[in-house]
A and B are shown apart, each in its own frame.
Chain A
Amino acid sequence: VPLMSENGAMRYLSQFGYLPPSNPSSSQIITKETMSKAITDFQSFAGLNVTGFLDNETITLMSAPRCGVKDKVGASSDGRSKR
């Protein structure tokens, strides 16, 4: 099973539109509920068992090669802008 920390998962979920983009300049706090909802959304989208936590199946898929475009295009503010 590939290793992925909770921070790594958070970055992943943020990168692909399930969580708001991380902003190092602000002390953005992701609650357990927000994280669980994001994991649930990801699992649902990817056709995994929806558990709401980082189980092995979810972590494995997060480590798989994939397209860099967000799954949820409208979910964050940076989108795919050339600006």
Chain B
Amino acid sequence: YALQGSRWRVKKLTYKISKYPTLLEKKVVDKDISRAFAVWSEYTDLTFTQKRSGQVHIEIRFERGEHGDGDPFDGPGGTLAHAYFPVYGGDAHFDESEHWTVNSYRGTNLFQVAAHEFGHSLGLSHSDIKSALMAPFYRGYDPDFVLDSDDIQGIQALYGTRTSKIGGTDTNVHHRTTASPTGEEDQELCSDPKVDTMFNSADGNTYVFKGDHYWKLTSDGVASGYPRPITTTWRGLPGNIDAAFTYKNGKTYFFKGSKYWRYVGGRMDGDYPKDISEGFTGIPDNIDAATVWTGNGKIYFYKGTKFWRFDPSQKPPVKSTYPKLISNWEGLPNNVDAALTYHGFTYFFKDKAYYRFNDRTFSVDIADPAFPRATAYWWFGC
């Protein structure tokens, strides 16, 4: 099996079928989609609840041709469906041009394709094991379908083994509904939630750096056993880091002053530090924050009132039209402390508060409660 690198932080997930196929009855589709999710909940503590309206984790749509995500369907045959990994929102799209069928050797079996796509929605990439559900090729209707051991190992690597019929936690740092966090509060972060940097590691964990220490975040706050000295995990890395991000190559870059360091996990990846002007030509020293848009590989650097877009595949990597003003992005503050890409959104942190940026509207999200929100409560479980 192969893990894409992101996963859901909650185990109670919701879904909505926003657009049904025209040739199948809605209740039949509902049943097969539910069965497809059950393939994964059978071996984990994940639960999936269908909603008819409102916000959900996974949106399901049956669409033809170009359908708004830049990845058009190709008519009957060819590609049958695609889905987004958790970091991109988890949505699943099915090609309406296919002849979707239920319990039939004719057409394309909806249940099997949906179960495969939901594997992507949960964080699994394609497997090179032929018998695995997560193998990329459609094998035809299998009336005796059972999940392959390769798929079971994959999903349990992400979400653990099933412990009970009612499993998981429904608290999430971004959708918390309860005011009382479990476990002890972290005194340092709760008394002063201003941080140096936040970033996601290649294995899907989110870390907070502040001074000489770091914390690992969980779905409802800070993991026990933290803070720890930064040097215990990233040997050779100084404290008071300005910014950090993990690139799609799985390597994590740390920035401080005019220097940067590159790590693979906790191992320094060569001879570092190096000058930012050498490795990131066009980016200034002493940056405030950095994020990488995982989809297109472009890296955004923020400093003061400005931001720069760095594209490693271009020469020069920073276009002459940069820097641009952060104020172009409605609702965002200048001089941010940290920025983090998480579940398809970019979060900006400044002092005690954070902002959720919606890249589709190029503005801070309108939500209830409104942004900025308290970082201590929503992220650190205070």
- A residues apposed to B, CB below 8 Å: 16, 44-47, 61, 63-71, 73-74, 77-83
Cα A67 to Cα B92 in complex, Å, equals 11
Cα A64 to Cα B140 in complex, Å, equals 11
The 8 A CB mask of B155-181 against A (1 = contact, 0 = none) is 000000000000000000000000000
- B residues apposed to A, CB below 8 Å: 4, 69-71, 73, 77-85, 88-89, 108, 113, 116-117, 120, 125-126, 128, 130, 136-138, 248-250, 293-297, 313, 344, 359-360
B108 adjacent to A82 (CB under 8 Å) = no
A67 adjacent to B126 (CB under 8 Å) = yes
Given A64-B137, A65-B80, CB of A47 within 8 Å of CB of B130: yes
B138 adjacent to A82 (CB under 8 Å) = no
Identify 19 new A-B residue pairs, CB closer than 8 A, beyond the known A45-B128, A68-B81, A74-B248: A46-B128, A46-B137, A61-B137, A64-B138, A65-B108, A66-B80, A67-B120, A67-B136, A70-B126, A73-B4, A78-B296, A80-B71, A80-B88, A81-B296, A82-B88, A82-B344, A83-B295, A83-B296, A83-B359
Residue of A46, A70, A83 with most partner-chain B CB within 10 A: A83
Residue of A nearest to B344 (CB): A82
Given A78-B295, A80-B85, CB of A67 within 8 Å of CB of B117: yes
CB distance from A71 to the nearest CB of B (A): 5
B125 adjacent to A68 (CB under 8 Å) = no
B83 adjacent to A82 (CB under 8 Å) = no
Given A67-B116, A83-B293, CB of A73 within 8 Å of CB of B125: yes
Given A45-B128, A81-B88, A82-B69, CB of A71 within 8 Å of CB of B136: yes
Cα A67 to Cα B81 in complex, Å, equals 6
Task: Give the contacting residue for A82; candidates B81, B113, B295; CB below 8 A.
Answer: B295
Cα A45 to Cα B43 in complex, Å, equals 26
A80 adjacent to B136 (CB under 8 Å) = no
Cα A9 to Cα B52 in complex, Å, equals 41
Cα A65 to Cα B137 in complex, Å, equals 6
A65 adjacent to B136 (CB under 8 Å) = no
Cα A18 to Cα B132 in complex, Å, equals 21
What are 21 A-B contacts with C-beta separation under 8 Å? A16-B136, A46-B128, A64-B138, A65-B138, A66-B79, A67-B116, A67-B120, A68-B80, A68-B82, A69-B120, A71-B126, A73-B85, A73-B125, A74-B249, A77-B297, A79-B248, A79-B296, A80-B85, A80-B88, A81-B293, A83-B293
Contacts of B248 in A (CB 8 A): 74, 79
Contacts of B82 in A (CB 8 A): 67-69, 80
